[in-house]
């Protein structure tokens, strides 16, 4: 009953008399009438306090009519007087805060004195008021009493539920007074407004990097300390912030709550959806300040700008090759380790990086989301589209520094340069013959294995490579032409 009263009053909803009285009897909090102008009410409620040697006692008197039912006869609201500023504790009396100037019925100014008399019996963490302690203890008990009626997600605090429900309703009541951008909670708009002022009051004491919010600084400092306090209870992987853990847990649950309203593709986190939607809109808000090239995300432009500076801070400790981004180094190191952590759940083929798996899966699904706007030819990955578009534009951005020959794609240049260097990095493990490109080695190995994967669909004759098959199929085409003549 006490919890019900707490839940209802937190929302500003009507509370039956017996629940409210029970709430007072439990001494959970002292509630006071908000006096902000003339009030009219058919029910009269008076809160009395009297100082005793041991503790503050409460008494409530009311008229026979039901108290605080919100039937239209009352227009007052109730507020928790001391939860947000100075909590009423034991042996309370009338006094005024000497620093904040607010008047309360209390003995000690706990916020300004730093006294935290309410201690958690599990973690030892202390709080200035009992309500905050009760909320904290739900961390240990796992209690989430507030449930979203849209999706069933539960929360420890009513305020968190209210903010969450705005995801479903689309409500964004907090608006920036400079650019008009709207936010679901006050914290969001406060942090955003600091971007306009350039204010970054929170500075890291190790690297000097500054932030607009304290929470962002705390998460950043975990990079230096290595602390990862949020652990997945399924695979034990740990994370620096709760948001990353939440997104990670959706890998196990399969939950993808963010859906594109154009192609219906779903994503585990909002950032991925935002980035994806720019494929449809063509928006590229991040521009290089040197060459003007634009990118869909900040990470893209950051990596690109390192090309201008020549900066490659991430070096492989095995072969010495350096990279502009840490992620690229991690993927490269899997060449040395042989690690292929991303596996196709249809054919079990494994890949070194997630991007390659995503592109591969489109072979099974038949999806080709990237289309040339000149000839309408479609491709499974963006890189293939980019190379194809150079056929129309005639662009050949990769030039050999020895003979000046140019190429549409980097791989072609790499292969060509081996003509000058004589390098043949691909060696047959049976006869020792070496090749400039992997495809040549693959074809050569079919001599040893006898494998002929390319079969004619007319006479069933098989061939080691696709080119031989196409040449053979012309025989059938030629025969058909003779018959027709």
Question: Is there a domain that residue 163 lies in?
Answer: yes
State yes or no: pLDDT of 282 exceeds 50.
Answer: yes
CA 449 vs CA 75, 445, 446, 463: distances in Å: 89, 6, 5, 13
Cβ atoms < 10 Å from Cβ of 15: 23
Q: Which is nearest to 426 in space by CA: 416, 409, 439?
A: 439
**What does the pLDDT read at residue 482?**
40
State yes or no: pLDDT of 48 exceeds 60.
Answer: no
What are the backbone angles phi and psi of residue 49, rounded to the nearest 5°?
A: -130, 140
Q: Which is nearest to 331 in space by CA: 354, 311, 308, 357?
A: 354
CA distance 268 to 168: 16
**What does the pLDDT read at residue 111?**
60
432 CB burial (10 A radius; 0-12, 13-18, 19+): exposed
Number of domains in the chain: 1
pLDDT tens per residue, range 307-332: 888 888 889 999 999 988 888 899 99
Q: Which residues contact residue 409 at a Cβ distance below 8 angstroms, ignoring those fewer than 6 apart?
A: 387, 390, 398
When pLDDT is averaged across residues 77-96 and rounded to a whole number, the result is: 40
CA distance 485 to 477: 13
Q: Which residues contact residue 428 at a Cβ distance below 8 angstroms, ignoring those fewer than 6 apart?
A: 434, 435, 441, 444, 445, 448
Q: Name the more confident of 79 and 183.
A: 183
Question: Is there a domain that residue 384 lies in?
Answer: no
Does pTM top 0.75 for this prediction?
A: no
| pLDDT band at residue 297 under the 50/70/90 scheme | confident
Q: Mean pLDDT across the chain, nearest whole number?
A: 77
Question: Is there a domain that residue 143 lies in?
Answer: yes
User: Residue 162 sits in which domain range?
Assistant: 138-193
Question: Is there a domain that residue 424 lies in?
Answer: no
| pLDDT band at residue 17 under the 50/70/90 scheme | very low
Question: Is there a domain that residue 376 lies in?
Answer: no
**What does the pLDDT read at residue 109?**
55
When pLDDT is averaged across residues 207-220 and rounded to a whole number, the result is: 89
State yes or no: pLDDT of 14 exceeds 60.
Answer: no
**What does the pLDDT read at residue 152?**
87
Q: Name the more confident of 301 and 28.
A: 301
Q: Which of 4-8, 31-35, 251-255 is predicted with the least confidence, judged by mean pLDDT? A: 31-35
Question: Is there a domain that residue 465 lies in?
Answer: no
pLDDT tens per residue, range 104-117: 444 445 566 777 78
Question: Is there a domain that residue 290 lies in?
Answer: no
State yes or no: pLDDT of 400 exceeds 90.
Answer: yes
**What does the pLDDT read at residue 27?**
39
CATH number (domain holding residue 177): 3.30.160.60
State yes or no: pLDDT of 46 exceeds 60.
Answer: no
Question: Is there a domain that residue 247 lies in?
Answer: no
When pLDDT is averaged across residues 471-481 and rounded to a whole number, the result is: 75
Q: Which of 76-85, 146-155, 388-397 is predicted with the least confidence, judged by mean pLDDT? A: 76-85
State yes or no: pLDDT of 433 exceeds 70.
Answer: yes
Structure tokens at 62: 């009311």
């Amino acid at each position: 009953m006490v919890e019900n009263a707490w839940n209802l009053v937190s929302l500003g909803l009507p509370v039956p008399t017996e629940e409210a009285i029970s709430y007072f009897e439990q001494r959970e909090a002292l509630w006071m009438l908000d006096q902000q102008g003339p009030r009219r009410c058919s029910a009269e409620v008076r809160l009395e306090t009297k100082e005793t040697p041991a503790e503050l006692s409460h008494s409530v008197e009311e008229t026979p009519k039901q108290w605080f039912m919100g039937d239209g006869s009352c227009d007052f609201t109730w507020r928790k007087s001391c939860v947000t500023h100075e909590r009423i504790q034991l042996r309370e009396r009338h006094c005024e805060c000497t620093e904040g100037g607010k008047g309360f019925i209390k003995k000690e100014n706990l916020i300004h004195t730093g006294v935290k008399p309410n201690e958690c019996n599990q973690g030892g963490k202390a709080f200035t008021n009992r309500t905050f302690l009760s909320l904290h203890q739900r961390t240990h008990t796992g209690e989430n009493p507030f449930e979203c009626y849209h999706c069933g997600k539960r929360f420890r605090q009513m305020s968190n539920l209210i903010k969450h429900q705005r995801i479903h309703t689309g409500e964004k009541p907090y608006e920036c007074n400079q650019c008009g951008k709207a936010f679901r909670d006050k914290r969001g708009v406060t942090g955003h407004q600091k971007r306009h002022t350039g204010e970054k009051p929170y500075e890291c004491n190790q690297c000097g990097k500054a932030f607009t919010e304290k929470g962002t600084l705390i998460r950043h400092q975990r990079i230096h300390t290595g602390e990862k306090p949020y652990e997945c209870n399924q695979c034990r992987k740990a994370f620096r912030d709760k948001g990353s853990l939440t997104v990670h847990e959706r890998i196990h649950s399969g939950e993808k709550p963010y859906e594109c309203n154009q192609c219906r593709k779903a994503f585990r986190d909002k950032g991925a959806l935002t980035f994806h939607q720019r494929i449809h809109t063509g928006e590229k808000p991040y521009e290089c300040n040197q060459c003007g090239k634009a990118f869909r995300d900040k990470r893209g432009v950051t990596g690109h700008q390192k090309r201008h500076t020549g900066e490659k801070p991430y070096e492989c400790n095995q072969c010495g090759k350096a990279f502009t981004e840490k992620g690229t180094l991690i993927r490269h190191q899997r060449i040395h380790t042989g690690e292929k952590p991303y596996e196709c759940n249809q054919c079990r083929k494994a890949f070194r990086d997630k991007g390659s798996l995503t592109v591969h899966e489109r072979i099974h699904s038949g999806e080709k989301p990237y289309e040339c706007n000149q000839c309408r030819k479609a491709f499974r990955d963006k890189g293939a589209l980019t190379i194809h578009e150079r056929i129309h534009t005639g662009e050949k951005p990769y030039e050999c520094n020895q003979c000046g020959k140019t190429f549409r794609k980097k791989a072609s240049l790499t292969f060509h340069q081996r003509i000058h260097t004589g390098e043949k990095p691909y060696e047959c493990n049976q006869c020792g013959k070496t090749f400039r490109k992997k495809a040549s080695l693959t074809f050569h190995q079919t001599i040893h294995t006898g494998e002929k994967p390319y079969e004619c669909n007319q006479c069933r004759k098989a061939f080691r490579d696709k080119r031989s098959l196409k040449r053979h199929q012309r025989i059938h085409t030629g025969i058909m032409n003779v018959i027709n003549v």
